[in-house]
Amino acid sequence: MIRYLARRVAVMPLLLLGTASMVFVVSRATSGNPLVSIVGARNLNNPVIVAAAKQRWGLDRSLPVQYGRFMINLLRGDLGTSFSTRRPVLRDLWDRLPATLELTIAALVLGSAVGILLGVLAARHRNRALDHGARAVGLLGSSLPAFWLGMLLLYLLYSRLGWVQGPNRLNARVRPPTRLTGFFTVDSLLHGQWSLLWQACMHLVLPATVLAWGVVGIVSRLVRASLLEELSSEYVRVARAMGLRERTVVATHALRNALLPTITIVAFAFAYLITNAVLVEKVFSWPGVGSYAVEAARQLDYPAVAGVTLLGGLAFLLTNLVSDIAYTMADPRIQLS
Amino acid sequence: MTTVTTTAPAPGSSAGEQPVLTIDDVHVTFRGEHHGDPGIPAVRGVSLQVAAGEALAVVGESGSGKSATMLAVLGLHGHATVRGSVRFDGRELLGSPESVLRTVRGAGIAMIFQDPMTSLNPVLTVGRQLAMAMHAHQPGLSRQAAQQRAVELLERVAIPQARRRCEAYPHELSGGMRQRVIIAMAIANRPRVLIADEPTTALDVTVQAQIVELLGELRRDEGLALILVTHDLGVVAGAADRVAVMYAGTVVEHGPVDAFFAAPGHPYGRGLLGCLARLDRDAEPVPIGGHPVSPRQLPPGCSFAPRCPLAEPSCDDHPPSLRPWGATVVACDVVTRAAGSSMVAS
Ligand SMILES: Nc1ncnc2c1ncn2[C@@H]1O[C@H](COP(=O)(O)OP(=O)(O)O)[C@@H](O)[C@H]1O
Ligand code: SF4
Ligand SMILES: [Mg+2]
């Protein structure tokens, strides 16, 4: 087990270096000029400024040299400096990562919980109204574009009804809690700042819901299918024949087995959430990695684009690793070697 | 749909003993997939009973409705209509609410199934599953007491290193061991009736004998009423007092094991015994030709007619009822009509 994990972790840097190379190629192959955002459109005709900027950012070198520098810096743990924020990309990411993690983790927990609940209800009321209802809820979330859903809910629940707070992580001009984890909810809780905690939650709930809704469908469908399969299995019949309550049969016997495949889908769900967080952060002015990524891509901010992509890749690899470990621990039949 | 009515009482248990479980004219029809589909009449008027300490074997080819009958006893059918009467200890079970059935399942009547490989939950330890079975009927049982009793139960079914085995997951045990664990679960709440539905079919021959022996032992020691469902007549000989032969959802022959083995009455029973090449008899084994009839396309009269070597045109007129024939009852008009004549001796 330990050796298997060690091997998995050992190949991660290689995969990330591969990803980095691909990002380099793709970003350089994209038509468009990063100088527009570096020097501004007005100065593009000024050869002195352009030459200075090119030299400053190393864009005057040949592509192979640029690539070599990029990779060497990367190996040293240096992601370079963003063209647009003029700050080290690593710093930018470090500042913005907690916002994104707080959002995606909240969405993952919410999406999985609602998905599992709907899946169980659908399975137990198979082909009846509740089943169809659950299917409709899931389908709605996975077919409506996240930004559209985001704007709709923002309009309804915030502008019209005022049930929740609007964009951003906190109200305007409110000081965030001192950073411990960077999660405003957790930090305000740890500092005992209750009104701040409430405010952070009311800001978080809408974007998290929009994001979570996208995975409810796939999670609930999977839980429903695998629970139905488990409920028709022989050991469930044996458990019933032993006189176990139906509730116990479902909760302790069948659901445990039915959730095994769900563990793997959660890793995919997380990848989906990270991707969609880009759009949702934009809609909700959420100061996370997602909105940073949008700006980086728009301005062809090469170092920032590479940084964001590598972070996404790392998140994906780690999620898969965690889900594999979780699966192994949950299923006694599996022995990794 | 045709029904078989019992005109002669099925031979009961040893004189005067009250049956603890009585299955009376039970019908099981699996519901059709769509409207207008009459469904599958899997069981058509089966009557059986067992008394404490008695063993009844139910034999018949696969598809003859043995499992469907037994599942009906415990109300475990999902998509089937069940009619008739099932009385446990004088109480009617058919039509009883789930809450009543649940108290009978496991504690009054326990059932074990064919495939020990799939009968246990793969992600729970053996000890946990035993404890869950106990807690279903003894909610007040403490953790330690349940654990203690789990070890005792595993020892009772002759599992070596019982304490350690409690921590084992099902996949760490052999098929025979798993079936023993399932038997331990089945007797955990001291039921009075144990229904074993083909408990040995999925096991190696040597293990089969051990399991049958274990079941016999439990019957003697705990006074269990045992219903042993099997399609293997070889298992029946030493393990049961009475045998009921099922064909196409009905009992076609029913009587003491000795009488049945000495001289089976129904042509199907004779065929079954013929399959079992017996060393102490010179007769040629007579395999039964043809295929089991589908419950969707039953013949109008005797359902065995298409395969029966003794069939007469009149056999297609109406389904035969069980009538006394020697020490047994037999559902074959041709045989019972000729009772006492030369045919019997064949
Ligand atoms: N769940 C079910 N749905 C529809 N038909 C079934 C179902 N279970 C059993 N049957 C049918 O009922 C008949 C009797 O089956 P079963 O009781 O399992 O036979 P046995 O146990 O004697 O092998 C068979 O024809 C089988 O195809
Ligand atoms: S009734 Fe006729 S067909 Fe049926 S078993 Fe007897 S002889 Fe054969
Ligand atoms: Mg069967």
B98 plus B223 within the same structural domain? yes
Distance A101 CA to ligand 3 centre (A): 54
Q: Which residues of A touch B111 (CB under 8 A)?
A: 241
Compute φ and ψ for A268, nearest 5 degrees: -65, -40
Residue B137: inside a domain, yes or no? yes
The three-class DSSP label of residue A288 is coil
Lowest mean pLDDT among A27-41, A125-139, A321-335, B146-160: A27-41
CB contact under 8 A, B185 and A238: yes
How many domains is chain B partitioned into structurally? 2
> Which one of A245, A257, A330 has the shortest CB-CB distance to B136?
A245
Cα-based angle A97, A99, A103 (whole degrees, multiple of 5): 115
Share of chain A above pLDDT 70, in %: 99
Residue B145: inside a domain, yes or no? yes
* pLDDT value of position B279: 45
| Residue B334 in contact with ligand 2 by CB distance below 6 A | yes
B68-84 pLDDT, tens digit each: 999 999 999 988 999 99
Q: Which amino acid is at A300?
A: L
Residue B179: inside a domain, yes or no? yes
* pLDDT value of position B141: 93
Q: How high is the mean pLDDT of chain A?
A: 89
Q: Is B286 or B327 the better-scoring residue by pLDDT?
A: B327
- State mean pLDDT over A53-62: 83
- Tell me: pLDDT of A254 over 70: yes
B166 plus B248 within the same structural domain? no
Q: Which residues of A touch B104 (CB under 8 A)?
A: 243
B86 plus B168 within the same structural domain? no
B225 plus B141 within the same structural domain? no
- State mean pLDDT over B46-61: 95
Task: Name which residue sits closest to atom 10 of ligand 1, judged by CA.
Answer: B42
Q: Exposed, middle or buried, B223 (CB in 10 Å: 0-12/13-18/19+)?
A: middle
Question: How are beta strands B250-256 and B328-330 bridged, if at all?
Answer: antiparallel
The three-class DSSP label of residue A150 is helix
B77 plus B148 within the same structural domain? no
- State mean pLDDT over A158-183: 89
Confidence of residue B191 (pLDDT cuts 50, 70, 90): very high
pTM of the model: 0.83
Q: How far is A248 from chain B (nearest CA, A)?
A: 9
B99 plus B211 within the same structural domain? yes
B269 plus B318 within the same structural domain? yes
- Tell me: pLDDT of B104 over 70: yes
Residue B4: inside a domain, yes or no? no
Residue B11: inside a domain, yes or no? no
Task: Name which residue sits closest to atom 27 of ligand 1, judged by CA.
Answer: B63
* pLDDT value of position B109: 97
Identify from B119, B135, B153 which residue to disrupt to test chain A contact, counting A C-beta atoms within 10 A and taking the largest count.
Answer: B119
B250 plus B295 within the same structural domain? yes
Query: CA nearest B128: which of A263, A332, A258, A228?
Result: A332
Cα nearest neighbour of B78 on chain A? A232
- Quote the CA–CA distance of B1 and B44 in Å, as a whole number: 9
B220 plus B302 within the same structural domain? yes
- Quote the CA–CA distance of B219 and A217 in Å, as a whole number: 52
Beta-carbon neighbour count of residue A59 at 10 Å? 16
Compute φ and ψ for A98, nearest 5 degrees: -55, -40
B297 plus B287 within the same structural domain? yes
Query: CA nearest A105: which of A222, A218, A204?
Result: A204
CB contact under 8 A, A242 and B98: no
Helices first, then strands: H and E counts in chain A: 14, 0
* pLDDT value of position B333: 92
Q: Which residues of A touch B121 (CB under 8 A)?
A: 235, 239, 253, 256-257
Residue B54: inside a domain, yes or no? yes
A200-219 pLDDT, tens digit each: 999 999 999 999 999 999 99
Query: CA nearest B211: which of B70, B109, B67, B114?
Result: B114
A264-273 pLDDT, tens digit each: 888 888 888 8
A73-108 pLDDT, tens digit each: 888 888 889 988 889 999 999 999 999 999 999 999
> Which among B142, B161, B188 is the end of a domain?
B188
Q: Where in chain A is the domain with CATH 1.10.3720.10?
A: 93-330
Compute φ and ψ for B28, nearest 5 degrees: -125, 120
- Quote the CA–CA distance of B183 and B156 in Å, as a whole number: 10
Question: Percent helix, strand and coil across chain B, each rounded to 5?
Answer: 35, 20, 45
* pLDDT value of position B339: 67
What is the third-level CATH fold of A93-330?
MetI-like fold (1.10.3720)
Q: Which residues of A touch B98 (CB under 8 A)?
A: 246
Residue B162: inside a domain, yes or no? yes
B173 plus B276 within the same structural domain? no
Residue B278: inside a domain, yes or no? yes
CB contact under 8 A, B136 and A244: yes
Question: How is residue A277 annotated by DSSP?
Answer: H
Q: How high is the mean pLDDT of chain B?
A: 87
A287-313 pLDDT, tens digit each: 999 999 999 988 889 899 999 999 989
B180 plus B306 within the same structural domain? no
Identify from A242, A247, A248, A263 which residue to disrupt to test chain B contact, counting B C-beta atoms within 10 A and taking the largest count.
Answer: A242
Question: How is residue A226 annotated by DSSP?
Answer: H
Please report the DSSP string for B294-317 in residue order: PTTS--SS-TTGGG-TT--GGGGT
- Tell me: pLDDT of B286 over 60: no
Query: Structural domain of residue B98, as residue ranges?
Result: 19-108+189-345
- State mean pLDDT over B120-136: 95
Look at chain A and count its residues: 337
Task: Name which residue sits closest to atom 20 of ligand 1, judged by CA.
Answer: B63
B30-46 pLDDT, tens digit each: 988 777 788 899 999 99
Question: How are beta strands B193-197 and B225-230 bridged, if at all?
Answer: parallel
